[in-house]
Structure formats: structure tokens, C-alpha cells
Structure 1
Amino acid sequence: MTANTAVNWAALTEAEPGLAKIAEERFGAFTHHVLATLRKDGSPRTTGLEVRFLSGELWLGMMPGSLKALDLLRDPRFALQANPGPDTAMGGGDIRIAGRAIEVEDPEVKGAYMEEVEPPQPFHLFRTELTEVVRTFVEDDKYLVVQVWKPGEPVRTLKRT
């Protein structure tokens, strides 16, 4: 597997279970997060979004015709940042995920998702293919630590004072 390969959430969970658990906890701490997509002219768009981790996938659900859904249908690249919360401590650190969002239209897959989530109807459903997961946190009130994971590579840790 090369560094440019994209994989689903289950692949991260298998390769780096600790990082995957921390990421799920950070995203689970709040309902709304920040999604960055690319507009038609290539400029970035950021919007709020709810995410779900189900059946080894990271899912993005959106209202039909929403600008973020239209962006992803045109260009599937995205970046997603966990809500940092109301305080500056950011328990667990800052988590960012990059990848591609692939629309799911299979009625069985959407039906299984709807049994778990009960989204408003109709909706766009995207499964994600990860290209990078980054965790940034402060260790011992002294070090800024950045962990970077890419498919096919171990977590790379950078530490600065």
C-alpha cells in the first residue's frame, strides 16, 4: 500500500487503534464539527456537519442540494476538524481528517444507515476514504505534539517545545 492510497475507517482502527479511539472520542464529544470542501472555483468552503462512525466507516450525511454536498459531488476531497469545544484544553487534542467522500446510493446501505441514525429525509450519504489523520495536543504543558497517520505508514510523531 502506498502513502497515496485511501482507506476506510476500519483500516485506521486496525492499523492504529489508539489513534482511532481518541479520534472517535473527540468527534463523539460534540455533535457539530467543521467540514472543508472545495467550491466550483477551487476556493475553500467551511460548514458545520454531523458525522457518524458505523460499521467500520466514517459517514457524512447532508441535506439534498446543500452546497457542501454539491461541492463533494463535484470534487470529493474534504478536510474535517473535530469541534474543539468550549474550553481551550481540548481534551484529547485537536483531530483533523482528510480524504475523499464517496456518495452512497445503494438502498440497502442507506437503509442500514437510516436504522442507526434516523436522518431527515431525503439526504445525501457519503462514506469516506481517508488519506490522512492528524492529532495535535500539548503534553506536560511543555510540548506541542503532532501525530500524523497516512495509509500504509505508521504514525509519525513530531514534538516541539
Structure 2
Amino acid sequence: MTTWQEFEQQAPGLAPRIRARFEAHKHHVLATLTKDGSPRVSGTEVDFHGPELYLGSMAGAVKAADLRRDGRCALHANPGPGTDLAGGDAKLSLRAVELTDPAEIAGYEAGLPEPPPGRYHAFRLELTGAVLTEVAGDHLVISSWHPGGPVRVVERR
């Protein structure tokens, strides 16, 4: 799987634009898989620390249970107010890996502005794909990337 830093190295023109969409707003939408395989969407926050992208969750939250059972997920950046999608519409395909090593958990906590209140789950998010859709005049520009491949750009009119 691919770290955020590896994504930045493989797609230097796309990764910063997608990161900007996730840093523009605090809350985003996470899609996970329930026990029966149906989708579940939840609000969430993400954190960039060094080479990694992380997600935290309150202990016992259903999204954490979903991710512990099946780490496949998708993350949609909050598009913000209005209808112009300034900066684009960013989506990530991911695999969440729960942090269990005490040293990794300590590193995660050290990168946070303040420690989480109470018990929590933390997940490292490994990228399996990224898409940024932008409006350019009268058409859409869709930039997509998958690990090990080039950025593909498609225009739809």
C-alpha cells in the first residue's frame, strides 16, 4: 500500500491539490463497509503527519468497528459552501490499518495539536487511489491516480 508521502512523490502535481482540499475544512465524509457489505457514511476528520495520513475515532464508534473488520474505505473532502467547487472535488480510495504498536501510537499522538479525550482508535490510511474533479469553463477535468501509475487526466464536456 502507498503512504501519503509516496503519493506526493508519484503524483507531485496532483497530491498537493488534493491535500489542500482536505486541509480547507475540518470535517469530511468517510465511507466504510458494514458487516453485510453495504456502505455506511460517517463524518470524520483526518490528520497529515510526516509521510502518513491518519484518522481517529472514538472508542466503540461504528466506523471504527467497520474499519477494524474491513479496512477498505473511501474519503470525500468537504467541498465547502457554494456550488462552484473552487479547488475541485477530492476523493481518496484507502485501506485503513489500525495503530496497535505503542511507538506508532505515541508518534501519532505527538503530531496532534492536543491529545484525544478518552479512549480512541487510530488508523493509518494507505492510499489505493485518488481523484480530483474540477470545473474548467464548460467542462470537467478529472485527474486520477493509482499507486505505481501516472496521473490520468480526462476531460468531459
> Normalization by structure 1: what TM-score?
0.93
**Runs of 4+ deviating beyond 4 Å:** none
Residue pairs, 1:8-157, within 5 angstroms: 8-117=3-112, 118-139=115-136, 141-157=137-153
The one-letter amino acid of 2:148's match is: G
1:34-65 alpha-carbon deviations (Å, 9 max, x no partner): 00000001110000000011111110110111
* Alpha-carbon distance between aligned partners in 2 of 1:124 and 1:74, rounded to the nearest angstrom: 13
Segments of 5+ residues of structure 2 without an aligned counterpart are none
The one-letter amino acid of 1:105's match is: T
1:4-54 alpha-carbon deviations (Å, 9 max, x no partner): xx2111110111122111111110111000000000011100000000111
The DSSP-based 3-state class of the residue aligned with 1:158 is strand
* Alpha-carbon distance between aligned partners in 2 of 1:77 and 1:128, rounded to the nearest angstrom: 10
Deviation for aligned residue 1:143: 1.6
The DSSP-based 3-state class of the residue aligned with 2:13 is helix
Measured on the aligned residues, the alpha-carbon RMSD in Å equals 0.9
The DSSP-based 3-state class of the residue aligned with 1:18 is coil
Deviation for aligned residue 1:128: 1.2
Segments of 5+ residues of structure 1 without an aligned counterpart are 1-5
Deviation for aligned residue 1:121: 2.5
Over 3 Å counting, the alpha-carbon distance change for 1:17 and 1:119 in structure 2 is farther
- Equivalenced residue count is 155
1:99-145 alpha-carbon deviations (Å, 9 max, x no partner): 21000111122112212212222111100111100000111x21211
* Alpha-carbon distance between aligned partners in 1 of 2:26 and 2:121, rounded to the nearest angstrom: 18
Q: How much identity, in percent, do the aligned residues show? A: 48
The DSSP-based 3-state class of the residue aligned with 2:111 is helix
- Pair 1:158 & 2:154 matched: yes
The DSSP-based 3-state class of the residue aligned with 1:60 is strand
* Alpha-carbon distance between aligned partners in 2 of 1:119 and 1:23, rounded to the nearest angstrom: 26
The DSSP-based 3-state class of the residue aligned with 1:120 is coil
* Alpha-carbon distance between aligned partners in 2 of 1:39 and 1:65, rounded to the nearest angstrom: 14
> Normalization by structure 2: what TM-score?
0.95
